[in-house]
Structure 1
């Protein structure tokens, strides 16, 4: 097969089925980032633990995945992309079953760590393998399919998790992974072994690996507990932040000077990759602000059920599906920087439409901006992903995909913590201002037909509801303006010479 391009080895129906299998794996892994979020109360009650302890089910997965994603390049180089991919799928399936069978918090957290370690390489490897089996003129469409699963996954997670927990049992949020694992592992073993990447016996960078585990773990734990402990006013949070920062600096210096680094940071020398990978991190983090805030605000303030709140956010994914096929075509016709910048301006405008939401908003008032936002997101994510991977040579593709996805995951983690902290802080500030203006002349006044205590309780509820609404509108004002700022940042990247062809040269 020497001299034969990798995409000539998987053709026709096999290529189509393999593409579906790869996209399904990515959807499954991304979905598992958020599917447990709404199930924490069910898990906590069933295992007899507190809700704060239950959040470790989420944190353990996020930390393990964040650690393993940037390792993908080294693992693929050492063992082969397809081999690592198949073993990771099987590991993910095994730990999914064990999560569902868990009877204690310790067992569940340990299995979630295993699930995260197995799932980390799957996200970038689905990209890498799609690029290997599709010819240059079809890679943008393949990446469009991949991008849509990445956008839809976080939206579907809470809906599916809530529905399964309410109607079946929380155990099934893990068991549902098994059919996808069996299908994808079988297809990958049958169809993809012919496009295995060359294997090199490179030494293990034990120091770099240890440093990476330490700084990512400390940062992720800091982000998780920070908002519950008043951030840097708490000595533990401050110590974690300083430790993460110091170890990160040491890690960067070590990896840049190591002959065989566990994470190849040299890929950042490509300006096109760096700018577009950062655009994905900033843009996806800003987009995720809505996924974090909207469902909670709808349930807390407006009284929607988890299912209806999830459906409102799902309009973004529904709209994206309608235009998803257009994005890959458009970026091959005009300068992709125009498409990417325009998509961010569109998304910023759709975000600003949410700044006039009130506590009396109905479902369609909330759903329309979500739908409008969704029309622009494929053009953002498909374009930025294709531009970043098109900026690196094929031998660095696995490392680039791993680092790109790592930045996106960390962007989401930081965004979630910052947004939730700011949202709660602004709600308290708005609540204090509203309470100060309420009945200024008669502080002990009552509402007709209610006692003093009942009147105060009703007014407190009113204040809390309006305060959260004001805070929500502020979140989207800032997020919309940030989207527009990121649209300018795009232009720091060079114009791609050839879109969606990072594998030029054949394999």
Structure 2
């Protein structure tokens, strides 16, 4: 066999391959946008529907929970009903749910539609990545993963950017409705692109394992979302959710080890690269959306930036990803473990950079730190994906993809909740410490050049002083959250060296 035949290039693949690649790219882009676009329109929705802060949070958290719960279904459904049927049904459901989000008349309706969006969209990323790995030769995996990564990365970036402009111009409903035309196109492309990918295998579904895992994941997310407001284990609700979650997870583990055909086969964990890859993708999932959730609140509440400008600054992350695509394929082919480690190290550096920001940060500080984080993410994710699946047999790819993306989604939602809790608690603690120094007996507050427009006499002066103390305390909360982000990225760097190199065969 010639060298060319052993290592095909992009020029050798068929138009059908390009159509499949476009289909996966489009569906991944749309799903990524749907996850994050809600974050920039929550204030408008809260005002329009007269919801409290606690109630409006479910618009985001229920979507993440539904996505995480539905992810394990993807592998079984692909084997049982075929890739074409599953992807087409998922996109139909996703399109309808997106439309319902845009016409929702009350909070309950909107939350239900967001659950549908997450549930139907959950199959998009694991099946899309699995289709690419199964369809393309191994020597092109790094290339197609890089191209696929454009949709996976720019979707979450495009959601807030486009959503902010759409909501400013036509209201919050337009942010959800803008996804519908592209989703209709994705349905059509999916039907034709996967015309020859509809093989089915009679596989039984493990309802016990699925329900146990779904309950465990949902309980863990609910604890993190509700714990801060309910004072954690001072609340009976948190105790009940913890008991139910631990019990369900124990049932899932025991059942998976003893059942003949479990939902997720423990044999997958016998593959060294895949088992280590699960740890790595959990951390990378933690790093995926956290800055995008933290920066809008930071820039809006503490610096009074408008929504449109915030979206543009966060888009620096997307440009960083774009820059990484210029080198990630060559770096992965040269040494995937080096590329993964360097990408994680860059993200750790970006996190430490963000943690050095203060209340007087500039737009350049925000843009360039986000750009560096995006570059590191793009440089780490592609080689990590290639390494994780490099030694798995093809017949295990669909099932492995489901677990892979479940872990990633759960890592994302869990770390966002942890970061927000750290932010709130740090801000409250520091506010309490700062107010201890606000006293008529503090000599520093007696000098006009120090006190400025603040004073301890008039209500207006006290309110201005309290507002500034709150801003500074909140800034420390954001800094602590960024430090946590940096530590998480640095923690994952050594795992790159525990994975076996990618096989050199085609």
TM-score by length of 1: 0.90
Match of 2:63 among 61, 64, 86: 61
Q: Structure 1's 448 and 133: CA in aligned 2 closer, same or farther, altered over 3 A?
A: closer
SS at match of 1:311: helix
> What are the superposed Cα offsets for residues 57-94 of structure 1, whole Å, 9 maximum, x if unpaired?
22322222111111111111111122211111111112
1:306-321 maps to which residues of 2 (within 5 A)? 306-321=307-322
Deviation at 1:498, TM superposition (A): 4.1
Question: Would you say 1:158 and 2:160 are equivalent positions?
Answer: yes
1:285, CA displacement in angstroms?
A: 0.5
Q: Does 1:50 align with 2:43?
A: no
Is 2:358 the counterpart of 1:358?
A: yes
1:20 to 12, 19, 22: 22
Quote the Cα distance in structure 2 between the aligned partners of 1:291 and 1:282.
16
- The structure-2 alpha-carbon separation of the partners of 1:76 and 1:498, relative to structure 1 and needing over 3 Å to count, comes to farther
Within the alignment, does 1:486 sit opposite 2:464 as a pair? Answer: no
Q: What SS does the aligned partner of 1:301 have?
A: helix
In structure 2, what is the equivalent of residue 464 of structure 1?
470
Q: SS state of the match for residue 322, structure 1?
A: helix
Change (3 A) 1:42 1:230: same
Name the structure 2 match of 1:505: none
Write the deviation string for residues 344-385 of structure 1: whole angstroms up to 9, x where unpaired: 112111221222211111111221222222222211111111
Partner of 1:136: 138
Residue ranges of structure 2 left out of the alignment (5+ in a row): 1-8
Give the alignment of 1:266-415 within 5 angstroms.
266-334=267-335, 336-415=336-415
Q: How many residues align?
A: 491
In the TM superposition, residue 439 of structure 1 has moved relative to its aligned partner by 5.2
Distance in 2 of aligned mates of 1:261 and 1:114 = 26
Q: Is the 8 A contact 1:159 1:311 kept in 2?
A: yes
How do 1:86-125 and structure 2 match up within 5 A? 86-125=88-127
Residues 348 and 483, structure 1, Cα contact 8 Å, conserved in 2: yes
Q: Distance in 1 between matches of 2:288 and 2:207?
A: 36
In 2, Cα distance between equivalents of 1:469 and 1:107 = 35
Q: Residues 183-226 of structure 1, C-alpha deviation per residue, up to 9 Å, x if partnerless?
A: 22222222222133x31222232222322332222222222212
Instruction: Determine if contact 1:132/1:195 at 8 Å carries over to the other structure.
Output: no
Once residues 27 and 132 of structure 1 are traced to their aligned partners in structure 2, the CA distance between those partners, rounded to angstroms, is: 20
1:26 touches 1:123 (CA, 8 Å); kept in 2? Answer: yes
Deviation readout 1:426-461 (Å, 9 max, x if unpaired) = 112222232323456249968566652222112111
Q: 1:390 to 1:106 in 2, by over 3 A?
A: same
- In the alignment, structure 1 segments of 5+ residues that lack a partner are 1-6, 502-507
Q: Structure 1 residues 405-414 or 14-23, which shifts more?
A: 14-23
Give the Cα separation in 2 of the matches to 1:175 and 1:206. 34
> In 1, distance between residues paired with 2:355 and 2:118?
36
Select which of 170, 173, 176 maps to 1:171: 173
Q: By how many angstroms is 1:31 displaced?
A: 1.6
Q: Deviations over 1:92-151 (max 9, x none)?
A: 112222222222333333322222221111111110122233232222111112223223
Q: Is the 8 A contact 2:296 2:310 kept in 1?
A: yes
CA contact (8 A) 1:205 1:260 kept: yes
TM-score by length of 2: 0.90
Please tell me whether the aligned partners of residues 387 and 501 of structure 2 are also in contact (alpha carbons under 8 angstroms).
no
The answer to whether residue 266 in structure 2 is matched with residue 260 in structure 1 is: no
C-alpha contact (below 8 Å) 2:94/2:121 kept by paired residues: yes
